[in-house]
Structure 1
Amino acid sequence: MGLQEKYHDLISLAADLVIADLLVREQNNVLYIDGTAKSAEDKEKLWGVYGKIDPDFRAADAVVNIEVADTITTDYTVQKGDSLSKIGKEHGVSWQVIYEANKDIITNPDLIQPGWKLKIPIV
C-alpha cells in the first residue's frame, strides 16, 4: 500500500475542508502534507483523522504541517445591556465564536462588562 493510499482519508478531508495551498508530496518514503486551514477547528479535524490512521503517531511516514490562517477581526466595545448573543447577532457570528476569540478577557461568557474591548471575528 502506498502512502497516499494509506492517508487517503486525511488527504480527502484536507481537500473537502479547502485547505489553502494544499501540497501533498512523497519524498524518501515520507508523505508531506502542507497547507493552511481556515480555523483551528479544521486543523483539529485533520489531526483526528491522522490519529485514526496512526493512533500512536509512531509510523514516522507522514509529516503534517498545517498552519491556521490569521483570523480577521474587528474591535467592539461592550455597551451596557450587551450580551455575547446580542453582539453576535449584530455581527453575524455566534456568541461562541466571540467567546473563543476573547478567552483572554472573558472568563464567564454570561458575565461581560461595559467598556471591555472585544475582538469580533469576521467570517
Structure 2
Amino acid sequence: MALQDKYAELVSTAQAQGIANLQVRENEGVLYIDGEAPSTTAKDKVWEVYQKIDPDFRAGDAVVNISLAAGAEPASTEYVVKTGDSLSKIGKAFGKDWKEIYEANKDVIGSTPDLIQVGWTLKIPS
C-alpha cells in the first residue's frame, strides 16, 4: 500500500487525463500502472507527474506502461514564424515536408502557403 500512496498523484493524474483501461497493481515491491492514453498530451502529463515523483527514474519501484490508443490525436509542436522563414525551411528544421506543415495549418495560412507571416504560430505535426 505504501507504493500506491507514493504514486497516488500519478494514478489520479492518469484518471483525470482519461487513461482508458487503467490498471494499477502491486507485485513483489513494484507498482505496475498500465492503460491507454486518448492523446499524446494526456500521456505526457502522466509522464510529467512520474518524473516529478522520481526525477531520475531510478527508484525501480514503478513500471508505467501507458500506450497511445489507436486513433489518438498525435502531438504537435508549436513554432513561431521568424523573419526569413518559409515552410520549406521550417520543415527542414523539423524533418518534415513543407506540405505536412501546410496541411496542419491551413486554418492559419489559408490558400497561399508561400505567404506566411512573421509572428504566426504554426503547429508542427509529430
Could you tell me the TM-score, scaled by structure 1's length? 0.60
Quote how far apart the aligned CAs of 1:16 are: 1.1
Question: How many matched pairs?
Answer: 83
2 CA distance for matches of 1:45 and 1:31? 19
- Residue 65 and residue 72 in structure 1: after superposition, are their counterparts in 2 closer, same or farther (change >3 A)? closer
**Residue 53 of structure 1: aligned partner:** 53
1 CA distance for matches of 2:42 and 2:63? 17
Verify: 1:107 aligned to 2:69, yes or no. no
2 CA distance for matches of 1:16 and 1:8? 12
**Residue 2 of structure 2: aligned partner:** 2
Q: SS state of the match for residue 42, structure 2?
A: helix
Could you tell me the TM-score, scaled by structure 2's length? 0.59
Between Structure 1 and Structure 2, which shows a larger proportion of strand residues? 2
Contact 2:39 2:72 in 1 (8 A): no
Q: Give percent identity, aligned residues only.
A: 53
CA RMSD between the two structures: 2.3
Alignment deviations for residues 86-121 of structure 1 (CA, whole Å, 9 cap, x no partner): xxxxxxxxxxxxxxxxx6642354328xxxxxxxxx
**Residue 16 of structure 2: aligned partner:** 16
User: Where does structure 1 lack aligned partners over 5 or more consecutive residues?
Assistant: 74-102, 113-123
Aligned pairs for 1:31-46 within 5 A: 31-46=31-46
2 CA distance for matches of 1:51 and 1:20? 21
